A = this chain, B = another copy of it.
Amino acid sequence: METKIEPISLVDTVTKRLEAAIINGQLAPGERIREQVLAVEMGISRGPLREAIRRLEGRRLLERTANIGVRVAELSPQKLDELLTVREALEGMACRLAAERISDDEVAQLRALLDSHAELKDVSSGAGYYQKSGDFDFHFRIAKASENGFLMSMITGDLYDLLRVYRYRSSTMQGRAGAALDEHRTIVEALARHDPDGAEAAMRKHLRNARIHSQLAVQQMEMAAKAEAN
């Protein structure tokens, strides 16, 4: 028996559907959720739905006010900045640990990944792909190489999901692809040298740039929105 089928509960699927709905904007930030309505829409009963909501509550995707209802978490540029700062701390540490433990094989895989990115960068339609799976893959592999279960689940799980809710597109998208690739290479080289300090510093710098860049982008968006309002 190769594939051990693991039964998926309704709560799990509902949780994912809710999560997806929040991420793609079907449920707008701040929007109120009514249990009965949603339960009927999804064709389930209130029980599992409530349990799913509790989970997302714990992950800060939903906020509940007693006797009032549940709302989709409100976002703000400031909160995004805070989140990205936490990411700096966690991924920096992950990168440090990875530098101590990473194998030559894993380093080779990372290099190959970056090479493929370099090629895609030239393709006009490539940028989308780059962001979508490539960049995540890079950070994901490093988190995994840290061999710290908590760190990994936070980086690739909770944190990543939250960032998606914030509609955060890795700032590599916003004209930083070239710079990001260079930074990625710097990180990999530090990992290859098994240089914890260098690796952490490189990752921190990379994410700090991404964070600052994203804040600038947000500010520009707000400026544009304000200009349009006049």
Chain A interface residues toward B at CB < 8 A: 6-9, 11, 47, 50-52, 54-55, 57-59, 66-67, 79, 82-83, 85-86, 88-90, 92-93, 97, 148-151, 154
Contacts and interface: CB of A to CB of B under 8 A. Distances in A.
A124 to B, nearest CB: 37
Contacts of A58: 54-55, 57-59
A90 B93 CA distance: 9
A154 B86 contact: yes
A9 B9 CA distance: 26
Contacts of A92: 89
Contact of A148 (B11, B59, B86): B86
A187 B148 CA distance: 27
Contacts of A150: 79, 82-83, 85-86
Given A9-B66, A83-B150, A85-B151, 11 more contacts: A6-B66, A8-B66, A51-B51, A54-B54, A58-B59, A79-B149, A82-B148, A82-B150, A82-B151, A86-B90, A86-B93
28 contacts: A7-B66, A7-B67, A8-B66, A47-B47, A47-B50, A50-B51, A51-B51, A54-B55, A54-B58, A55-B57, A55-B58, A58-B58, A58-B59, A82-B148, A82-B149, A82-B150, A82-B151, A85-B93, A85-B97, A85-B150, A85-B151, A86-B93, A86-B150, A88-B93, A89-B89, A89-B90, A89-B92, A90-B90
